[in-house]
Structure 1
Amino acid sequence: GSGITPVMKFLQGHRVPMSIRVAVVKLLGGILAIGSGFPLGPEGPAVQMGASVACQMATNLRAPRSFLRLIVAAGGGAGIAAVFNAPLGGFIYAIEELLHNARPVVLMLVLFTTFTADTWGDVLNWIGFGKNQGFTRALSLEVTRTFDLADFTFQPIDVLYLILLGLVIAGLSELYNRYVIAMQGWSSRVFGPRPVLRMALCGLLLGLIFAPLPAEFADGAALKKLVALDLRDGTTDLGFNLVIFVAMFFTTGLAAASGAPGGLFAPMLILGGAVGLVGSELLQTTTGYAPSSFVFAGMASFVAGTSQTPIAATFITFALTKQIVLLKPMLVASLSCYLLARAINRRSIYERQLALEKQHSIWAPPLIAPVSLR
């Protein structure tokens, strides 16, 4: 599975394995699944790996049990920070989604952990473990980031368009949540305790779907880059972006139903970016003007609507651009999307996945009490 729901279940006090062994298995499984072309992202496994390593370290160092929940959540936030090079995004995600807590001691520990993970991610990228995208090297071992993106502006009229974009994406994100949960429920009923058969059949179906499509559709990173290049070049192919949205919408639900290790954040970013590009093209055609921030506002909004973490979604998307002018439009769209999505259904996709797991399996009694740090 994604890896986020086991961490949430652990933080609620249920028996969930958390150790170095779990982290290694999740790493290898994620590499195989994502490398095989499953349209999933690395952030789910990264959250569980970070949380598992943190739990193992806390156990080895005999940390007080009252801090175990906090340390595990900080490790999960560190996983998000490392994957997206987004220390603020990981920090806020741990507070907003995992802990629901904002005491000073909590903020300090989570902030330190996520920024440390992001720093080590920079160092490993500089050494060569990764694509080094956006990085330059210097003899002084200095790590600097460079980005080749379009110039963005923010006009007062953009607020109205961004609110409308957020409201539209709220409806789409709710449909996406229901579809993914329905697919996972169907998979659990049909296949039961036969994960190999489930992954094999889902993988076969995904291969048949991706076969007639361009090669980028089997590589989430390449597809996300393709959306960004479409924005940078200033040309938007309405039909192609609709194909991207429809294909990713249905295939990520199928991939999630397979139970393969992988997250949904990366597909959400692609879906939101495609909606933003389609909306931008429609506005440009009908009114002669479209906000330049629509694609990244769409990315942030889709994550906000599905996970119901608008602030974390904004800063995770901001990490892709590092352009401060985009913060305001992304916040406007994300908050409008979140408010409507919350009015439609108060549970995020991960909370629904927890309820689905509880429905199709017998949860073990609590291993630790869900300690409150309020």
Structure 2
Amino acid sequence: MPDSPPARRPRRWTARRSRALLRATGPTSLRFRSRVAILTGAIAVGIVAVLFAQASDEAGVIFERYARANRWLPLITTPLGFAALVWVTRRWAPLASGSGIPQVIAARERRDLGVSGLIAPATVAAKAVLTIAAVLCGASVGREGPTVQLAAAIMGVSHRVMHVALRPSVVIAGGAAGVAAAFNTPLAGVMFAIEELASAYEQRVTLLVLSLIVVAGMVAQSLAGDYLYFGAIGAHMPLASALVVAPVAGLAGGAAGGLFARMMLAVAQGTHRWLLVAKRRPIAFAFACGLVVAGLGIATGLTWGTGYAPARAMILGVDAPWWFGPAKFVAALATAVAGLPGGIFAPSLAVGAGVGNLLSLVFPSGPASAVVILGMVAYFAGVVRAPLTAVIILSETTGSRGLMLPMFAAAFLADWASTQVCREKLYHGLARTFG
């Protein structure tokens, strides 16, 4: 019988080995500081997202009261507000214009311009103030896009405080945490990071970064409560109806969303000669856009702000005028191309509800709530070209998990239909304007 190999003697625990371990994993190590930066940043994202949401909602309530008490005054104050906000933005905070998501995409690709400009504290502070001011003017803007830029900036600050380099993957996750906290949709935040901000799986998002999204969502939920953005709808649709409604909703909503994206990119990039007025005279152009928004708001009484209330009413099955979708489309487009700081997430969901409301006239026998939700999924997917995110957002914000298969069908068809109208993805096209 051969001799057994000698047993390995345990390695002695020396002072030198202890110091090496402390340098590698202790409070001064890069790994420890990186984790502290991510954790504290995630907590701050959740808190800031809730506070920003509350401030934006309160601003919307204030404007609604003002518009009811002074029906015709918005015809003056809204255009003047648009012009003033664009002037202030262009003069002092040009990187704060628009949604905020293109800035995060550009910051991921250009680190030199990112922390120092696109997601700098001064830029996002101006973004928050100007977005709330836009809501006070009656603009058709959402808070979700600005929340994404705010969240990415917070991660930049936490990493700078801890003397840790800000990785592109953390910028992505910070922005996605903003989506999760803004809508109370953690799964949608994860999917948005993968599908849109990371540009179709081009980056691997680590477990530590995904934890950022979860922590931010939990903090926001602990402050704002466990709620569904549109309420627990629980819509469903029989398979026979879904086989007819979902394809029509997908094609119609996707084409409409692609049209919105194409028109917005045309103005932003100045690809047509007759649109050069927006470049040459941005203040006058913003004033004209404000006139359009004010005229629609006064005439309809429904197109002001995000459109959350009309959208929720339509999801609940309340009858709405057929023209709401087209009118809100124009109001959202006029606001978006004016150059104001503010997002398009919530207005896009409202326009999508209008699309679904039109489809419910075509399919009166289908469950109205389900048809409206399919219209929302299709239009949203057509605008942002992120079909998985669209499905998960509507599933999480309405609790309609029984409608997921028709939503997936509508979303993927919408994505295809949108590409036939607008080849370039909206946020990535807008991100190039910040290059």
TM-score with structure 1 setting the length: 0.79
Is 1:311 equivalent to 2:388 in the alignment? yes
Alignment match of 1:158 (pick from 229, 242, 248): 242
Aligned match of 1:20: 121
CA drift at 1:146 = 10
1:1-374 superposed matches below 5 A: 1-13=98-110, 15-16=113-114, 17=117, 18-64=119-165, 68-100=167-199, 102=201, 106-126=205-225, 134=227, 147-149=231-233, 151-185=235-269, 189-190=276-277, 192=279, 198-214=285-301, 216-220=302-306, 223-232=307-316, 234-237=317-320, 240-241=321-322, 243-284=323-364, 288-289=365-366, 292-355=369-432, 357=433, 363=435
Partners of 1:256 and 1:104 in 2: how far apart? 29
CA RMSD of aligned residues (A): 2.8
Deviations 1:236-289 (A, max 9, x none): 34xx13x211111112121112211111111111111111121122112xxx44
With over 3 angstroms needed to count, the CA separation of the structure-2 counterparts of 1:125 and 1:292, relative to structure 1, is closer
**Contact 2:101/2:145 (CA < 8 Å) preserved in 1?**
yes
Question: Structure 1: which amino acid aligns with 2:277?
Answer: V
**Contact 1:86/1:118 (CA < 8 Å) preserved in 2?**
yes
CA drift at 1:64 = 3.8
Query: Rg larger in 1 or in 2?
Result: 2
Aligned match of 2:13: none
Question: Structure 2: which amino acid aligns with 1:175?
Answer: L
Q: Give unmatched runs, 5+ long, in structure 1.
A: 127-131, 136-144, 364-374
**Contact 1:77/1:110 (CA < 8 Å) preserved in 2?**
no
Partners of 1:2 and 1:171 in 2: how far apart? 21
TM-score with structure 2 setting the length: 0.69
Q: Give unmatched runs, 5+ long, in structure 2.
A: 1-97
Aligned match of 2:78: none
CA drift at 1:162 = 0.3
Partners of 1:197 and 1:152 in 2: how far apart? 47
With over 3 angstroms needed to count, the CA separation of the structure-2 counterparts of 1:83 and 1:289, relative to structure 1, is closer
Percent of aligned pairs sharing the same letter: 25
Partners of 1:24 and 1:249 in 2: how far apart? 29
Question: Structure 2: which amino acid aligns with 1:44?
Answer: G
Partners of 2:379 and 2:259 in 1: how far apart? 11
CA drift at 1:151 = 4.8
Question: Structure 1: which amino acid aligns with 2:305?
Answer: D
Q: RCO greater where, 1 or 2, for CA within 8 Å and sep 6 or more?
A: 1
Partners of 2:413 and 2:278 in 1: how far apart? 39
Question: Structure 1: which amino acid aligns with 2:402?
Answer: V
With over 3 angstroms needed to count, the CA separation of the structure-2 counterparts of 1:36 and 1:110, relative to structure 1, is farther
Question: Structure 1: which amino acid aligns with 2:141?
Answer: L
Partners of 2:368 and 2:303 in 1: how far apart? 27
Aligned residue pairs total 331
User: Which structure 1 residue ranges, 4+ long, deviate > 6 Å from structure 2?
Assistant: none
SS of aligned partner of 1:212: helix
SS of aligned partner of 2:239: coil
